[in-house]
Chains A and B, each alone.
Chain A
Amino acid sequence: MTAETALPAGAPPDERQLPVACTDLRVSFGTVQAVDGVSFSIAPGEVFGLLGPNGAGKTTTIRVLTTLIRADSGAVSVFGHDTRTAAMLVRHLIGYLPQQLSADFQLTGYENVWLFARLFDLPRGQRDQRVREVLAAMGLDDVRDRLVSTYSGGMVRRLELAQALVNRPALLVLDEPTIGLDPLARGDVWERVRELREETGMTVLLTTHYMEEADTLCERIALMHHGRIRSEGTPAELKARLGPGATLDDVFRHDVGTAIEDEEMTGGGRDVRRTRRTAQRLG
């Protein structure tokens, strides 16, 4: 067995392999250049935040990384595995929470997680135990046999975290995990992510609109706009550049400026539609 195939899914990642290495990534949809030469890397165990306005290219970048779409040029590797040539292996290493609410409302909480345990080929003997384990970790023990259609928005989001964790991912990818949630549920989701990190040392890549949350949760941040990374660094570094007393909000405004108005050009409209749909499903 080569070193490449022996990489364990939940074990501490190989020191020599970066969880994410993205080089000069370009993706276009028709005439729109959604991602325009993006390069970044994430260190093992790091919480990395991809920030930016709607249509900045965050979700597109994540979709390449999770093997959902192909880049026009450039490459992304996950723990040293190319997302194009080793897609199945990459998928095994990732736990992914998409922007939209993605739990199946026609199934119970248990069945939702069980489905993913099967799709990740967990050994039959450990499936049931693992499903119960992640549901308990997300505080859904009591409601696991209820249909998801009876869950609150915060519960659905935690259920989706349980789904994303069932395969013991080495990299957790969270695309706007708190979108559409009330402040209480939002705080709860972040609290769970923080706990997870402390317990497992898992690498986390997340996108968010909420600068305050990014500030407290992320160890490193890349600010995207119009398909490019405008600035990158620790929250402290980014703020220091603007002088004392600056917040991440200020950094965001500084980098993005007044350009937010023309977001429609880069697919912001579609993003907004999607967000509204999620909010609608949350009731």
Chain B
Amino acid sequence: MSAVRVAPPSASADRWSPATLMPPWWRLYPSRILTFWLVELRKIRHDRTELYTRAVQPVLWLLIFGETFSRIRAIPTPPGISYLAYLSPGIMAQSALFIAIFFGIQIIWERDSGILTKLMATPTPRLALISGKAFAAGVRSVSQVVVILVLSAILQIHFDWNPLHLLGVAAAVVLGAAFFSCLSMTIAGIVLHRERLMGVGQAITMPLFFASNALYPVKVMPGWLQGLSAANPMSYEVDALRGMLLGTPSALLLDFGVLAIAVVAGVAAAAALLPRLAR
């Protein structure tokens, strides 16, 4: 067997003393997020089937639900904006939500298969690990932005194609996906089993979607539902998307503020429950 040196003499090993390797926290967090980001991109590149299958649902929503409800004209939209145009930012947020909710299942799978144990034994603080996973969900959901933008162009929906606004759209979707993946990972830390998480996930996905402004304006909802919608980060995400894509009046600063705070809270909650998954 060839004698490959696995560890060179101490002279070069000195450069790897933990004290010099460990970056300060303000470099550690971006570095870990970037790492998980790159890994997620690799996974997407190796297996694109999910990209394609995930594209089916938003297409169906826009083509079937959207086209039909456009004809019925049951839902009031801001002047000059078709229902299809009004709906597409909502579907964008919804399909990102569906991807993100899957991440709790992924972390349970990684726990069962031993991947999580090993990740947690690396010099990666829990908060950094969860942040990395959350933004990996963001990367995956950006693909949905692309799908819906392309489809909207085909359907001749009049979006604001300002590149700066499109960047903002991507940012809002990434933040939304990061929050919902944290929500899912938090529930994973509570229920600990895939089957239970699937149940809970399905039970909360629909309310998150319907108790938001994704399909209809908040003002057509009954009062109690309006309250739910105001507490639902999804509504703020959709509001921001509509504002940037359609130019409808929206509170962008509030929207991004709520999303950012939701992400921070979500990361903290999921990270606090992570040790339960490590046991």
Which A positions have Cβ atoms within 8 angstroms of B?
1, 5-12, 29, 63, 66-69, 88-89, 91-94, 96, 98-104, 106-108, 111, 115-116, 118-123, 133-134, 136-137, 147, 160, 163, 165, 167-168, 195-196, 199-200, 202, 277-278, 281
* Given A9-B16, A92-B18, A200-B6, 18 further pairs, Cβ under 8 A: A7-B17, A8-B16, A9-B18, A66-B121, A88-B22, A91-B121, A93-B18, A98-B117, A98-B121, A101-B114, A102-B117, A106-B43, A118-B35, A121-B22, A121-B23, A137-B5, A163-B118, A168-B7
Contact A119 B122 (CB under 8 A): yes
Contact B17 A101 (CB under 8 A): no
Convert B31-75 into 0s and 1s, putting 1 for each residue whose CB lies closer than 8 angstroms to a CB of A.
110010001001100110000000000000000000000000000
Convert B176-211 into 0s and 1s, putting 1 for each residue whose CB lies closer than 8 angstroms to a CB of A.
000000000000000000000000000000000000
For A96, list chain B residues within 8 Å (CB).
118, 121
- Provided the pairs A100-B117, A106-B47 are in contact, do residues A119 and B32 lie with their beta carbons within 8 angstroms? yes
Complex Cα spacing A106 to B40, Å? 10
For A167, list chain B residues within 8 Å (CB).
16
Interface range for B: 35 or more
**What are some 22 contacts across the A-B interface (CB < 8 A)?**
A5-B18, A6-B17, A6-B19, A8-B14, A8-B17, A11-B13, A68-B120, A91-B121, A91-B123, A96-B121, A104-B115, A107-B42, A108-B46, A111-B42, A119-B122, A119-B123, A121-B21, A133-B5, A163-B118, A200-B6, A202-B7, A278-B114
Which 4 interchain pairs have the tightest Cβ spacing? A100-B114, A92-B18, A10-B13, A102-B114
For A277, list chain B residues within 8 Å (CB).
112-113
For A134, list chain B residues within 8 Å (CB).
6
Contact B39 A107 (CB under 8 A): yes
Contact B13 A9 (CB under 8 A): yes
Most chain A CB within 10 A, of B22, B35, B119, B121, is at: B121
Most chain A CB within 10 A, of B28, B46, B275, is at: B46
Complex Cα spacing A122 to B31, Å? 12
Contact B15 A123 (CB under 8 A): yes
Which B positions have Cβ atoms within 8 angstroms of A?
1, 3-7, 10, 13-19, 21-23, 28, 31-32, 35, 39, 42-43, 46-47, 112-115, 117-125, 275, 278-279
- Provided the pairs A67-B121, A88-B123, A96-B121 are in contact, do residues A147 and B46 lie with their beta carbons within 8 angstroms? yes
For B18, list chain A residues within 8 Å (CB).
5, 7, 9, 88-89, 92-93
A281 CB contact (under 8 Å) in B3, B32, B113, B279: B113
Contact A69 B4 (CB under 8 A): no
For B32, list chain A residues within 8 Å (CB).
119
Would you give the shortest CB distance from A170 to chain B, in whole angstroms? 9
A11 CB contact (under 8 Å) in B6, B14, B46: B14
A119 CB contact (under 8 Å) in B17, B35, B46: B35
For B13, list chain A residues within 8 Å (CB).
8-11, 168
A69 CB contact (under 8 Å) in B46, B119, B123, B275: B275
Would you give the shortest CB distance from B90 to chain A, in whole angstroms? 31
Contact B6 A133 (CB under 8 A): yes
Residue of A nearest to B10 (CB): A11
Most chain B CB within 10 A, of A89, A93, A98, is at: A98
